[in-house]
Structures are given as structure tokens and as C-alpha cells.
Amino acid sequence: MVHPVKEIVHQHDHHINLAWSEFLFAHDRKFNDSSEHTTRKNIFSQNHRLVNSHNRANHGYKLALNHLADRTDEELKALRGRKPTLEYNGGSVFPYSEDELKTVSLPINFDWRISGAVNPVKNQASCGSCWSFGTTGTLEGAYFLKTGKLISLSEQALMDCSWGFGNNGCDGGNDYTSYQWIMKHGGIPLEEEYGPYEAMDGFCHTDEVKLVSPITGWVNVTTHNERALKMAIFKHGPISIGINASLRTFGLYSNGVYYDPQCKGSEADLDHAVLAVGYGWVNHKKYWLVKNSWSNNWGNDGYILMEIKNNNCGVMTTPTYVTM
């Protein structure tokens, strides 16, 4: 006679083993030795349980065993390279009054991708360079609004060259320190001219290439203000934002409107830089449309819908955009 508990355990192990094999094949994962293989499989098994229990509970968004499903906490932390901003960042005040924000007519749904102002999702790989992608994303959007042309700017140039302004390449940085560097040097190179993104710190060689997309300054969108951020996106293009991306539910997000009550959003909680490219309303939930830089294997083709409620994960805490 089959023992029911043993049978359940056997079936569970079979499911895990099958999912693990599929994961290894899909992401071409190979390990140095059996000890690393065991460690990775244990992490994957924990995430397998989380994904299945979460998706059964109907939270309004789904998780998936994506390419990060076997990464250690330290490896995931290394992807989140936004440094806390504990002082005034030098930006201008948001140029709209409360009365203007109340009276202006804004669309219910808005998405800059439809207009062609947003490049395809990029991949920062195993490097804490998210800050450089948030920066280039908002510059590319501003340049598009000014010229009607979409260009791809070099994250690698920011990583290699802006150390003197407080950025630390793969070990983290900020949008506003990047803006300072861009202002001082009169622009930033195109990706195709400077060379491809390397996911590692390199030698600065901006003297060999032309700099484009000069900026005149940057603006701090009024903090914790939904109408202000919607107005900023609608009028000024994609916005650089800091978020709290430390929760496993964020790392394994797949689709739906993301909301995790554990996701705090104060300045000290913000550890990842991303790009807000739109906003909208679906299934009675208001959301921000956010572009990540963890490849299109992550999330919904590289994007996440983040619920506006309670400033979850801090989307409205420190948004900035540039002026040209």
C-alpha cells in the first residue's frame, strides 16, 4: 500500500526536479561543483514554494521562477545599486502649483512607449549599475520630446567616468550625481559610439567620442504626490525614480498590479533605480508603469505595474527629470 504522505513528498520532489531541470536549460545555468549545485537548487526550491503559494492566493499579481530564482540574497542585493540620498540633491523645485495640479486634465491611462520615447529593455546583468539606466532613460525621453528622435545613450560611460561625482560603477550611484557629470561635460556619448555595456567598471574614454544630449538642469518632482508625478510623466517624459526592490515578491514578479504591504517607501528604503514611463488604471487599481533593467526575462517583458496605493515601494518619494 502506498503511504499517502510519502506519495505527496515524492510528487513534490518530482515537481521541483522537473522545474529545476527546465530552469537550468532555459537559462543555460552551469555550476562549478556539486556543492554550488545543491545550494542553488535549495534556493530555487524555496522560491518554487513561494511562487506556488503566492499564485494560489490570488493577490492580484503573479510571481514566476525567472532567471533570478536561484540567486543568493547577496547576489540580488548587488543588483540594487541606488545609494541613499541623505542631503539636498541640487535639483529645481517642481514648477507647478497645487492649484495647477488640481485643475489640469490628465489622461486616465498614459504610456510613453506608444509614442516611441522609450528604448527596448536593457540588462544591467550582475552589476549594481541600475542608477545609470534610470539616468539614461530619462535623458533619452527628454531628448525624444525635444527632437522627436529616440537615441540610445551610454550607461557604460557613466559607470567609467562619473566616479569623481560620487558614483561607484557596479557598486552603486545616483541619478542626480550622473546629471551633475553630464552638465559639467556638456552631454553624454551615444552607446554605439562609446562601446557596448560591459557590466563591469572600465576606463573612461569620452575624449575619443562626441557628447550629445546636453542638459540645463534637473527637477525634483513634488514628493508623495500622485498628481505631481502623473503631470511630470505626461508633460516631461519618462521619470527617473528610486524604489525599494528588496522583497522576494519584487524579484520574482511576473505580471499583474504589484502591491506588497511589506514594501516600505521612505528615502532610506530606496535601493534600486528604475524608470517610470506611464501610469494607468486596471481592475479597479491605479498603477505606475515602470521599466526595469533586469532584461526582458524579468517581469512582464522587463516591466512592472506598481500599485499607486500608499506610495508602495516608494515610487513617489524621489522622482526626477532633466531639462534641456
Q: Which amino acid is at 98?
A: E
CA distance 247 to 205: 37
Is residue 292 annotated as part of the catalytic site, yes or no?
yes
Question: For residue 169, what is its C-alpha cell?
Answer: 560603477
Is residue 161 annotated as part of the catalytic site, yes or no?
no
85 to 154, 158, 254, 271: CA distances (angstroms):
23, 18, 29, 10
303 closest CA partner among 55, 125, 118, 128: 118
Of the residues 47, 292, 300, 312, which is catalytic?
Answer: 292
CA distance 203 to 194: 11
Determine contact, residues 221/16, Cβ cutoff 8 Å.
Answer: no
Of the residues 47, 127, 130, 236, which is catalytic?
Answer: 130
CA distance 78 to 245: 12
Pairing of strands 61-63, 92-93: unpaired
Question: For residue 310, what is its C-alpha cell?
Answer: 500608499
Of the residues 161, 263, 272, 313, which is catalytic?
Answer: 272
**What does residue 246 show for φ and ψ, rounded to 5 degrees?**
-85, -15
Which residues are CB-contacts of 163 (< 8 A; sequence separation ≥ 6)?
169
- Active-site residue set: 130, 272, 292
